[in-house]
């Protein structure tokens, strides 16, 4: 079975439709399936319910779908970085099912594992628990949460082999494996595709049995959500020069480079 599609548009064709529930991987802008979201935007499908930790930022990620009003409901745990998301919700233009972050992750994981519901203490005594079943275990009150099984999962991974086995990169792993497992159909965007067998068994984060379609996006934008730059630490120019000279001399003599020289200020 060929799982590789020539473009994001082709990968979505015949799968996405109006009124569906979609799980979209990522955390902020980290690990989001950029090309698939853009293709979803261009497809014009509407009345979508999107399950995601948040909705990206204004004009990027799921924020693009909010601007075109293709999303009617968000199931998410965070709103703060997207002003249009916040505006639509406060204006009553967008339905929102606020879900604690850990509970959201477990809803997807449980859905992928075939578990229809679970009990958690998170949210007990708050609006999160209103209208839900409460039950006591060992003297403690828990709220029942239903799992999530979306129609389609849009996922970002770093590498896939041709069978769909996936490897994620660092923190871009976040919600992606859980979303992939939960979706009835899983479409994955990757930066690299390798032959079957090139990924070591212990290097596979998600087996290909969960993956239905793969599309290559070798050069995603990977926009930084919020850039924070700290001031450079002050340096002692004289001490730095002495340290550099000592290192060069030791390297020329073929001996081990000495430890950094401390200045008179104890820096």
Q: What is the pLDDT of residues 25-64, one digit of tens each?
A: 999 999 999 999 999 999 999 999 999 999 999 999 999 9
Per-residue model confidence (pLDDT) at position 244 = 75
**pLDDT at position 267:** 45
Q: Is 154 helix (H, G, I), strand (E, B) or coil?
A: strand
Residue 264 pLDDT greater than 70, yes or no: no
Global pTM value: 0.83
What are 87-100's pLDDT values in tens digits?
999 999 999 999 99
- What is the average pLDDT across 133-162? 98
Report whether 250 contacts 258 (CB < 8 A).
yes
**Does residue 82 have a pLDDT over 60?**
yes
**Whole-number percent of the chain with pLDDT over 70:** 93
Distance CA 129, CA 98 (A): 11
Give the pLDDT band of residue 225 (cuts 50, 70, 90).
Answer: confident
Tokens matching residue 22: 């979609």
Comparing 9-18, 29-38, 143-152, 256-265, the range with the smallest average pLDDT is 256-265
Fold category of 4-117+146-216 in CATH = Glutaconate Coenzyme A-transferase (3.40.1080)
**Which residues lie across from 30 on neighbouring strands?**
27
The β-bridge partners of 76 are 98
Whether the per-residue pLDDT at 242 is higher than 90: the answer is no
Mean pLDDT of 101-130: 97
Determine the Cα–Cα distance for residues 106 and 111; give it in Å rounded to an integer: 8
Pairing of strands 213-216, 21-24: unpaired
C-alpha span between 240 and 164 (Å, rounded): 51
Give the start-to-end residue ranges of the domains of the chain. Answer: 4-117+146-216, 235-267
In this predicted structure, the answer to whether residue 233 has a pLDDT above a threshold of 80 is no
d(CA 98, CA 75): 6
Beta carbons of 240 and 248 less than 8 angstroms apart: no
Which pLDDT band, with edges at 50, 70 and 90, does 266 fall under?
very low
**Inter-residue contact 159 to 124 (CB < 8 Å):** no
Quote the CA–CA distance of 110 and 43 in Å, as a whole number: 30
Backbone angles phi, psi at 66, to 5 degrees: -70, -40
b/e burial code for range 57-95 (CB count within 10 A of at least 16 → b): bbebbbbbbbeeebbeebbbbbbebbebbbebbeeeebe
Rg of the chain over Cα atoms, rounded to whole angstroms, equals 24
Please give the structure tokens belonging to residue 18: 């109006």
DSSP character for 243? H
Residue with the bigger pLDDT between 63 and 81: it is 63
181-223 pLDDT, tens per residue? 999 999 999 999 999 999 999 999 999 999 999 999 999 999 8
> The tokens of 252 are what?
């020329």
pLDDT of residue 103: 97
Two structure tokens written together for 213: 């379609």
Q: How far apart are CA 70 and CA 258, in angstroms?
A: 62
Q: Which two tokens stand for residue 219?
A: 């050069």
Instruction: Name the β-bridge partners of 57.
Output: 60
- Give the span between the Cα atoms of 145 and 128, in whole angstroms: 10
């Amino acid at each position: 079975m060929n799982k590789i599609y020539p473009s994001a548009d082709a990968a979505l064709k015949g799968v996405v439709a109006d009124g569906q529930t979609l799980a979209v991987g990522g955390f902020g802008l980290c690990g989001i399936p950029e090309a698939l979201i853009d293709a979803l935007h261009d497809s014009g499908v509407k009345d979508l319910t999107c399950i995601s930790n948040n909705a990206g930022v204004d004009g990027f990620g799921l924020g693009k779908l909010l601007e075109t009003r293709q999303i009617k409901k968000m199931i998410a745990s965070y709103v703060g970085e997207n002003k249009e998301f916040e505006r639509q919700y406060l204006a009553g233009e967008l339905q929102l099912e606020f879900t604690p972050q850990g509970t959201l992750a477990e809803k997807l994981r449980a859905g992928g594992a075939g578990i229809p519901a679970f009990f958690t203490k998170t949210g007990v005594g708050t609006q999160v628990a209103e209208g839900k079943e409460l039950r006591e275990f060992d003297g403690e009150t828990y709220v029942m949460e239903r799992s999530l099984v979306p129609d389609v999962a849009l996922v970002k991974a770093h590498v896939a082999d041709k069978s769909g086995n996936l490897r994620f990169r660092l923190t871009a792993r976040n919600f992606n494996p859980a979303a992939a497992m939960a979706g009835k159909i899983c479409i994955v965007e990757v930066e690299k595709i390798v032959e079957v067998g090139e990924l070591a068994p212990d290097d596979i984060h998600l087996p290909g049995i969960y993956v239905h379609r793969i599309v290559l996006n070798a050069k995603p934008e990977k926009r930084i959500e919020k850039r924070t730059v700290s001031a450079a630490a002050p340096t002692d120019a004289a001490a730095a020069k002495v340290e550099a000279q000592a290192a060069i001399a030791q390297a020329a003599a073929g001996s081990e480079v000495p430890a950094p020289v401390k200045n008179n200020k104890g820096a």
